[in-house]
């Protein structure tokens, strides 16, 4: 297993200082419990795809937000590459790859504590970023890709009381149940980030933090588009 981790996953490190080869473009969205990152990711993917199709290249232009099916597809492709390689620990590597994919799909990824599984997960996130034009929601992708230049790390936050009320409505929970839910989810996500980078997330791990309680989804999307233009991650010569 060490050979797989040291050799195969090393090829998907998030950047290569020697060659100047960086993945991206990629957008990551971190959020506190009660903030709907998925809706913003879907809207962003559609708008950014439109910008890409109007760019000079007009090739490989589609942006996609990473759901469990896209994550699973990337894992399956990596498994094919592993099976075609010369690793003597193929069976164990494939088993652990599939375990990470299952954890991603059923929202138990934050419960993973095994360092090898975490390293594999980081490798998959880097593989996704390498393919470019991805919007990754949660899963600590922002801190994993924090050193990638061609990216935008977004954070959605809101006051605790507002989030409790929203979760009460969305999940039909009592106030106490909603408060327990957001507290547990926030703790899980914070704990997973500590497993990834060895410390708690800080504000400077994100490029921009939005107050989800005071902004509409479209306002956040518009702001993100403008920032991506200013950072020259997308073309600035077109307006939708």
- Domain of 129: which CATH number? 3.40.50.300
- How far apart CA 156 and CA 35 sit, in angstroms, is 6
Q: Considering the domain boundaries, does residue 232 fall inside one?
A: no
CB under 8 Å to 98, separation ≥6 — which residues? Answer: 75, 79
211 C-beta neighbours (distance < 10 Å), count: 13
Q: Is the residue at 23 inside a domain?
A: no
SS3 of 64, please? strand
204 domain-assigned: yes
In a domain? residue 213: yes
> What's the confidence (pLDDT) of residue 240?
44
The whole-chain average pLDDT of the chain stands at 85
Give every residue of the chain whose pLDDT is below 50, as ranges.
12, 17-19, 59, 238-240
- Domain-embedded: residue 235: no
Residue 240 is assigned to a structural domain of this protein: no
* Number of domains observed in the structure of the chain: 1
Q: Could you report the per-residue pLDDT of 168-189, keeping only the tens digit for each?
A: 999 999 999 999 999 999 999 9
Examine residue 234 and state whether it is found in any structural domain, yes or no: no
DSSP alpha helix (H) spans, 16-137:
37-53, 68-84, 90-105, 115-131
Specify the pTM.
Answer: 0.85
- Start-to-end CA span in the chain (Å): 49
Do residues 9 and 119 touch, judged by C-beta distance below 8 A?
A: yes
Residue 231 in domain: no
Q: Which domain holds residue 182?
A: 2-14+28-226
pLDDT of residue 238: 47
pLDDT value, residue 90: 84
């Amino acid at each position: 297993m060490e050979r797989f981790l040291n050799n195969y996953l090393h090829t998907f490190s998030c950047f290569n200082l020697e060659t100047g080869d960086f993945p991206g473009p990629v957008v990551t969205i971190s959020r506190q419990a009660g903030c709907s990152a998925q809706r913003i990711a879907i809207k962003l993917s559609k708008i950014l795809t439109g910008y890409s199709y109007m760019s000079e290249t007009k090739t490989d232009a589609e942006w996609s937000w990473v759901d469990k099916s896209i994550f699973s597809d990337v894992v399956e492709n990596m498994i094919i590459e592993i099976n075609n390689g010369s690793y003597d620990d193929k069976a164990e590597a494939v088993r652990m790859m599939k375990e990470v994919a299952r954890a991603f799909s059923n929202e138990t990824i934050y419960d993973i504590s095994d360092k090898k599984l975490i390293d594999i997960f980081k490798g998959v996130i880097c593989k996704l970023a390498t393919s470019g034009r991805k919007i990754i929601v949660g899963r600590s992708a922002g801190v994993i890709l924090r050193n990638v230049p061609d990216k935008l790390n977004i954070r959605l936050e809101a006051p605790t009381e507002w989030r409790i009320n929203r979760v009460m409505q969305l999940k039909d929970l009592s106030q106490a149940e909603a408060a327990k839910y957001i507290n547990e989810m926030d703790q899980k996500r914070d704990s997973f980030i500590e497993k990834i980078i060895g410390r708690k997330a800080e504000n400077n791990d994100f490029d921009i933090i939005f107050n989800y309680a005071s902004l509409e989804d479209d306002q956040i999307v518009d702001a993100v588009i403008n920032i991506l233009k200013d950072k020259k991650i997308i073309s600035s010569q077109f307006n939708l």
